[in-house]
Amino acid sequence: MATADITRKIAWKDLTRLSVREMLIENNISIPWALGSWVLAWYGYYLLALPFSALFFLTALRQVHNGFHQSLGTNKQLTWFTLFFNSILMMASIHAVKFNHIRHHKYCLSEEDYEGKSAGMSALGAIFYGPKHMWLIHRVTWQLGNRNYRRNMLLELGAIVLFTGLVFYFQVHFLMYHIVVMIFGELMMAFFAVWSVHHDCDHDTIARTQRTGWKNAITFSMFYHLEHHLFPAVPTIKLPELCKRIDEALPALEKKKTF
């Protein structure tokens, strides 16, 4: 079934509106995990800090992902700051990621979809592709992005270099740990954020999804990816309700599981 046919059958526009509580959740969801990882790393408990760091990366990705689609419930200036601040904490230009993600929705799994290149690889291939993926994301933004995207990317990369330089110059060990783990996370993005939700998909079934409650709980609803592609303006916190509406209206719709 064509995407346009699906979207016409589902009521979704009301799901784009966030209550104050939902807005606060989406804009602050990563903070507890960042603080938890930093406190544990401060005391030298690096192994205990790792799960908190992983959940920080995941929830920060959820936060900026909503920001890409103006779904945080905040104005453009605050959304820009969210992307900029998370660029420093996640060790990549998030505006560069945004540029490629918007193209990913427009050209999904085609030759012009630079974000989605690893979707057609093996799992191991996608993992090894990680460094090239991150380089390509920034290079494509510089080559194809407009002046605002290039300026934002340079600003964010400059802030990352300054932050990293200060942290290592003053030997702030818990932040040194954070930087190393975040770089590793970025190198896994081709596998985690692309391959896992798009492998063995095509133009008919463009993305995978996850319907198991506990799996969505531990992944903060980030694997409702088919639903996101169908309705990108719907914030992550509203995706469980969107899934119910899709399942009720289109029970026969093919849904490939993420894991």
Confirm whether 234 is domain-assigned.
no
Position of tokens 């602050």? 28
The per-residue pLDDT for 2 is 65
What is the number of structural domains in the chain? 1
Supply the pTM of this predicted model. Answer: 0.95
Which residue segment(s) compose the domain that 138 sits in?
Answer: 19-200
Tokens found for residue 219: 């992944």
- Those residues of the chain that have pLDDT short of 70 are 1-2
Residue 209 phi/psi, 5° resolution?
-145, 175
Confirm whether 228 is domain-assigned.
no
The per-residue pLDDT for 77 is 97
The per-residue pLDDT for 5 is 72
The per-residue pLDDT for 8 is 86
3-state SS, residue 229 = helix
For the stretch 38-90, pLDDT in tens is 999 999 999 999 999 999 999 999 999 999 999 999 999 999 999 999 999 99
Confirm whether 130 is domain-assigned.
yes
Confirm whether 56 is domain-assigned.
yes
Nearest to 129 by CA among 191, 42, 52, 197: 191
Q: Dihedral, CA atoms, 48, 52, 54, 60, nearest 10 degrees? A: -160
